Amino acid sequence: MKKIDKGRKFVQDNLALFQCPNCQAPFINVVENTVSCANQHAFDLSKKGTLYFLNHAVNTEYDDAMLVSRRKVLTAGLFDGIVTAVAAALPTDKQTILDVGTGEGTPFAKLLAQRDNIDTALAFDISKAGVNLATQLETDAFFAVADLAQLPFADATFSSVVEFFSPSAYAEFNRVIQPNGTLIKVVPNHFYLRELREMLYPVGSKHHTYDNQQVVDLFMQNYPNTEIRDVTYQWNIPADLYADLLHMTPLHWGARPEAQQMAENTPLTSITVDVQLLITKFD
């Protein structure tokens, strides 16, 4: 089945999950490859089987080269321990699940591959380049280009929402998550990628270490009953992927040129993955 046909079938089968981001009316039909709402706002499926819901131009820092580097490193397993922890935190029965800020999609695809049930799975990102890469993955998930602050999904739609290192929009999460739904947010912890940080930034720099306390505090303000799980491990870096690891994160962007060059010339053999899972269950 062509990607556009697969995408059209997903939307036809799950039309009630969506709503128009322009007027919040439900989508009412799919004619050929066009989805339209009750107020006649129309969105066309791309050849890759995705929907583009933005009505304004977007510039993101994640360019094609960076996304390709991320694909290589994440495929090789950098986030596998995180994905396994998220899978263990999700309900075991079939879910309607949303991945927020999916990027190039590898963590979500790996998460779905670990599930015993055939979930109804959607993912979105504001980066069209990231979503286009995500459509290359072997997964039944549906991908869209959308704005976190104006989700094109109906109220109380998802039984689970996950986000790997993505920004949050709590009002929108509260709107689209079902009663008794699960929200899992993955945030970097103090020692996340510490070897790169310490190489690229001097002691005393705000980037030399990482502190996620403000992010955690805001999450806890919104969801006081949150459970926090720490996930920490060492990942052995394949020698041929060190350059991709260096360039897949924003860490090197703000470093001094001489520090960047030193990092290029001093390959690491392992890296620390240190994150927190913030897990909350809706009433």
DSSP 244-283: HHHHSSGGGTTS-HHHHHHHHHS--SEEEEEEEEEEEE--
pTM, 2 dp: 0.95
pLDDT value at residue 243: 92
pLDDT value at residue 194: 93
The token duo for 46 is 């791309």
Tokens 């103090």 sit at which residue? Answer: 190
Q: For the chain, give the longest Cα–Cα distance.
A: 59
pLDDT value at residue 17: 97
pLDDT band at 125 (very low <50, low <70, confident <90, very high): very high
Three-state SS at 243: helix
Say how far apart CA 33 and CA 30 lie, in whole Å.
Answer: 7
pLDDT band at 107 (very low <50, low <70, confident <90, very high): very high
Say how far apart CA 51 and CA 28 lie, in whole Å.
Answer: 15
For residues 106 and 244, the answer to whether their CB atoms sit within 8 Å is no
Given phi > 0 = left and psi -120 to 50 = alpha, else beta, which region is 255? beta
Say how far apart CA 178 and CA 182 lie, in whole Å.
Answer: 8
pLDDT band at 90 (very low <50, low <70, confident <90, very high): very high
Q: Using one digit for the tens of pLDDT, what is the confidence trace for 130-148? A: 999 999 999 999 999 999 9
Mean of pLDDT over the chain: 93
Per residue in 84-119, is it b (16+ CB within 10 Å) or e — as a string? ebbbebbeeeebbbbbbbbbbbbbbbbbbeeeeeeb
Residue 254 confidence (pLDDT) above 80: no
What one-character DSSP code corresponds to residue 110? Answer: H
Residue 60 confidence (pLDDT) above 80: no
Give the full edge-to-edge strand order of the sheet including 96-100. Answer: 51-52, 142-145, 120-125, 96-100, 158-164, 177-188, 270-281, 227-236
Say how far apart CA 23 and CA 19 lie, in whole Å.
Answer: 8
The token duo for 42 is 């129309």
Three-state SS at 205: coil
pLDDT value at residue 61: 67
